Amino acid sequence: MQKLRMGVIGVGGIAQGRHIPTFLKLSDQVTIEAISDVNETTARNVAEKFNISNVYSDYRDMFKDVDAVTICTPNKFHAEITIAALEAGLHVLCEKPMAMTPEECQSMIDAADKSGKVLAIAYHYRFMKDSRAAKQVILENEIGQPIVARAKALRRRKVPGWGVFTNKELQGGGSLIDYGCHFIDLSLWLLGNPKVVEVSGSTYNHLSKMPEQLNQWGSFNHETFEVDDHVTAYIKFDNGASLLFETSWMANIKDDEESLSISGLTGGIDLFPFQLNQMKHGMLLNSEANWVPGEDDPSIPQAQNFINSCLGLEELIVKPEEALQVSQIIDAIYKSSESGKSVRLI
């Protein structure tokens, strides 16, 4: 089988920690032909560390070497680089969030449609074993029509103190656009991506603006901290379903919590871990998964689905139109918090 020739653009934390090691593990399907980073020292060091021969400071120079690229730059550059790569005839796996605004996301989709190439967004929570188990039981109608979803992505005191995560200009926001976006995406996918009707949200950053900090993930300047560290939202869909959502990098809570539950008309599911809750055999019955097949590391099935989609062997799981929906909700939460009113999308 022909191997996909891959390039990686922006080789900081997530490229080194996830994408490059994953593609190297899948060496029977893919080769990493080139990397690019505006920081030439980083680019050279990463090339040496992973033994990659073609290194560029301008990402456009790598286009001739590859069939596809993974974009791992700060959020501000996702749209520009994605569109340039698609126009050069390349497939794109872009890190989450898709882009800074819904308008940018739409231009990326337009470019993908025009080029006929694959555009995937790295919402990797969908590829976790528990998430796939939940999707399967929902598709097999074990919980009936989903009505209410509850998602929590909460960290107690873990503002990322490295990179540009607290820079609004480069990232577009804080805990919501960086961390909560995964749980909005996962909730939408499990609900079957109904249309969003109305969004109401509140954003906070009181704790991160305080001078005395206890932060488990490095340090940051409270005076220049300009993004959200805690967000709540209520989202209504056109099929009558609703999502209660909360995310935080910095909440005064007992402990970190990642959970998602969906109540349907005939049953419910809980994540993480996966549990199916039903009324069956004359009792209230809760079932756990004893073993779920597949990779524990979601980066592997995410990369495999991207590669197979590029090779025309499999349908893309995270479709760009679905990632656009996530960005529409994020944008509406920020707007709702600012205006103090709910935002109607249709």
Ligand X SMILES: NC(=O)c1ccc[n+]([C@@H]2O[C@H](COP(=O)([O-])OP(=O)(O)OC[C@H]3O[C@@H](n4cnc5c(N)ncnc54)[C@H](O)[C@@H]3O)[C@@H](O)[C@H]2O)c1
| Residue closest to ligand X, measured at CB | 12
21 binds ligand X (CB under 6 A): no
Q: For ligand X, give the closer residue by CB, 67 or 95.
A: 95
161 binds ligand X (CB under 6 A): no
Three-state SS sequence of the chain? CCCEEEEEECCCHHHHHHHHHHHHHCCCCEEEEEEECCCHHHHHHHHHHHCCCEEECCHHHHHHHCCEEEECCCHHHHHHHHHHHHHCCCEEEECCCCCCCHHHHHHHHHHHHHHCCCEEECCHHHHCHHHHHHHHHHHCCCCCCEEEEEEEEECCECCCCCCCCCCHHHHCCCHHHHHHHHHHHHHHHHHCCCCEEEEEEEEECCCCCCCCCCCCCCCCCCCCCCCCCEEEEEEEECCCCEEEEEEECECCCCCCEEEEEEEECCEEEEECCCEEEEEECCEEEEEECCCCCCCCCCHHHHHHHHHHHHCCCCCCCCCHHHHHHHHHHHHHHHHHHHHCCCEECC
Q: For ligand X, give the closer residue by CB, 12 or 194.
A: 12
The one segment of 70-78, 103-111, 135-143, 265-273 that binds ligand X by CB under 6 A: 70-78
122 binds ligand X (CB under 6 A): yes
Q: Which of 22, 70, 75, 175 binds ligand X (CB under 6 A)?
A: 75
178 binds ligand X (CB under 6 A): yes
Q: Which of 26, 32, 55, 72 binds ligand X (CB under 6 A)?
A: 72
Q: How far apart are CB 1 and ligand X at their closest, in Å?
A: 27
59 binds ligand X (CB under 6 A): yes
104 binds ligand X (CB under 6 A): no
326 binds ligand X (CB under 6 A): no
23 binds ligand X (CB under 6 A): no
183 binds ligand X (CB under 6 A): no
56 binds ligand X (CB under 6 A): no
Query: Rule CB under 6 A: which residues touch ligand X?
Result: 9-15, 36-39, 42, 59, 72-75, 77, 95-96, 122, 124, 163-164, 178
